[in-house]
Amino acid sequence: MTSGTKHIKDTEHSNVWSVLRIMSDFVKGFDELKNIGPSVTFFGSARFDENNKYYKEAEKLSKLLADKGYNVISGGSSGIMEAANKGAFKSGKAESIGLNIELEHEQGGNGYTTKDLTFDYFFARKVMLVKYSLAYVIFPGGFGTLDELFESLTLTQTKKISQISIFLVGTEYWQPIYNFIKKNMVENGTIDIKDVELITFTDDLDKISKDIDKRLILHINDLKNCGLSDSEYYKKAIEQLQKQ
C-alpha cells in the first residue's frame, strides 16, 4: 500500500480507528523512551553518503557525544541519521536510537542502532524526536529537515518544551536561511532579536560538545525546580553530570 493510498483509507475509515492507531504510536514511544536519560537528537538529509563532508562531521560529533555518555537519537534512516547512529554505535558508551517512519522512499533502518522504533505518523515520531533530548543538532537537509528546524525553534520560542540548545551545523549551507532569520524576520517584526539567540550557528564540534555539557547542568536545575528530583530521568542526568 502506498502512502497516498494509506492516507485516503485513513481519511475514509472511522476516526475512532485512526485515533487508536495514533495512540498506539504515542504509547509505544513513551514506553520505550521514558527512562533513556540525557540525549541529543540529530536531524539532516537522508541523501548524503559516507563520503559526504556533513556525513563525516555528524559521525564525528555523535561519537564525541556518545563517548561522554549522551544517548544519540536520529530518524533511524540513511544519510545524517545513519552517520549519527554510526558514531554512537562505534562508541558503545551510550544508546544509539533510531525512530523510523513508514515511507515509500528514502526510509529504512541503517543497522547502527541499539534501540529502534517505527512509527506510522510523522507527528507522533516528531514528538519523540524532540521530547527526550536536551539539544538538537541540525545538519544540512531538505524539506523534512527545515520542518524539524522551525518546529524546534517554535517549541522553544513559545516555551512549549523546556529550554534546549539548537545547533545549526554546516554554516555554508545554512547561511542564506540564517541571514533571512536575522535580517528579514527581525526587521519585519515577525520575531524578536532575542529569538535569533535560540540558534547556535557553528561548525565547531568541540564547542557544541561543551555547550551541551552546560545545557545538562541547566536542565538538571530545571528538573529540580519542577520537583522532579526523584524521577528516574533526574537520576540519570546526575549520573551523566558526574561522568564529566
Task: Say yes or no to pLDDT of 150 above 60.
Answer: yes
Task: Say yes or no to pLDDT of 208 above 90.
Answer: yes
Assign residue 189 a region: left if phi > 0, alpha if psi is -120 to 50, beta otherwise?
left
With beta carbons less than 8 A apart as the criterion, state whether 114 and 84 touch: no
Q: Does 109 or 210 have the greater pLDDT score?
A: 210
> Which residue ranges form the domains of the chain, and what is each CATH number?
3-242 (3.40.50.450)
Closest to 39 (Cα-Cα) out of 236, 244, 224, 243: 236
Q: What is the pLDDT of residues 165-199, one digit of tens each?
A: 999 999 999 999 999 999 999 999 999 999 999 99
Task: Say yes or no to pLDDT of 156 above 70.
Answer: yes
The partner residues of 137 in beta bridges, in order of sequence, read 42, 167
Task: Say yes or no to pLDDT of 12 above 70.
Answer: no
Which pairs from 18-26 meet CB under 8 Å and 24+ separation? Answer: 21/120, 21/121, 22/120, 22/121, 22/124, 24/120, 25/119, 25/120, 25/121, 25/124, 25/125, 26/124, 26/127
Q: What is the pLDDT of residues 215-226, one digit of tens each?
A: 999 999 988 888
Percentage above 70 pLDDT, the chain: 90
pTM of the model: 0.88
Quote the cell numbers at residue 74. 536520529
Range name among 46-55, 73-82, 98-107, 146-155 with the lowest pLDDT average:
98-107
Q: What is the pLDDT of residues 78-133, one digit of tens each?
A: 999 999 999 999 999 999 999 988 765 545 678 999 999 888 778 778 888 888 89
Q: What is the 3-state secondary structure (H, E, C) of 71-127?
A: EEEECCCCCHHHHHHHHHHHHCCCCEEEEEECCCCCCCCCCCCCEEEEECCHHHHHH
Percentage above 90 pLDDT, the chain: 61
Assign residue 69 a region: left if phi > 0, alpha if psi is -120 to 50, beta otherwise?
left
Q: Which pLDDT does position 90 carry in this prediction? A: 97
Sequence-distant (≥ 6) Cβ neighbours of residue 6 within 8 angstroms? none
Mean pLDDT of 2-11: 52
- Scanning the structure block, which residue is given the C-alpha cell 568541540? 206
Task: Say yes or no to pLDDT of 3 above 60.
Answer: no
